[in-house]
Amino acid sequence: MEEQRGSHKVGIDYLGRDIYMKALRRDSREISVLRHLLQPSLKSDPRNHTIPVLRIIDIWGWSIVVQPRWGTEWQKPLKGSGSVVRRVEIARDLVEGLAFMHLNGVAHGDIHPSNILCGHENARYVDPARQKDGRLHQAFIDFESAVIFPPQAVHHCVTIEDLDTKPPSTIRAPEQEEALQWDGFAADVYNLGRCFQLQLLTTELQANHELVDIFNDMTRCDASSRITAEDAFRGLDTLLKEERKLQGGI
């Protein structure tokens, strides 16, 4: 059973799973990135916070990507019901996913709330039973503007010609507004940091100077002075452990 939604389709496969299907040109950057992340060693890595690919069907010049239908767009800021621990956990998990992409040579290029999905199932292990573990999980989607760099690349330069899309103006790094080329990894870090500032910070969290400092370090105007995704992950992981202790081991 399937339902048409614009250029995408949703349906149910023979195992009873809700699925999402998207047609991509076989020479597109997005299909290259998805195939890259489909490598067994990357697909099974718990740091991989993307929606898994169940199958890729090649037809003429097109590739049909089949993925679990999962989560909803992170369109609205979390309301007051989210605890400090939960919010730090969300930020930690997302920077872990970004650091994983960068470690494997992928610059996303278009990080903003509509390209982040949230759900209470683990996106990488969705089954028909839809079992929940109580946590809010996140996953990055839409790699239309992504670039893959070779292993051990020192520079991660992207140009405006590389991009099919860019983040909204409220999320863009300064260099994405003004320059013809920039460091794709540093821009990703800025974009995700802006998402955190807009989506996660409450009055209570504004008083958490360690957390605010990490977000500010991610969104420095000078790209060369920004922390890396791995730096942000280490800082947030340490902060999360401290917050869990303060709140009784949540």
According to the model, what pLDDT value does residue 249 have?
A: 59
Residue 2 pLDDT: 43
Q: What is the pTM of this model?
A: 0.89
Using 70 as the pLDDT threshold, list the residues of the chain that sit under it: 1-8, 11, 13-16, 75-82, 123-134, 249-250
pLDDT at residue 126 in the model = 59
Q: Is 74 helix (H, G, I), strand (E, B) or coil?
A: coil
Two structure tokens written together for 119: 């759900």
Quote the CA–CA distance of 30 and 28 in Å, as a whole number. 5
pLDDT of residue 20: 83
Question: Can you list the domains of the chain with their CATH numbers?
Answer: 2-68 (3.30.200.20), 72-246 (1.10.510.10)
Residues 6+ apart with CB under 8 A from 194: 167, 170, 171, 219
**Amino acid present at 28:** S
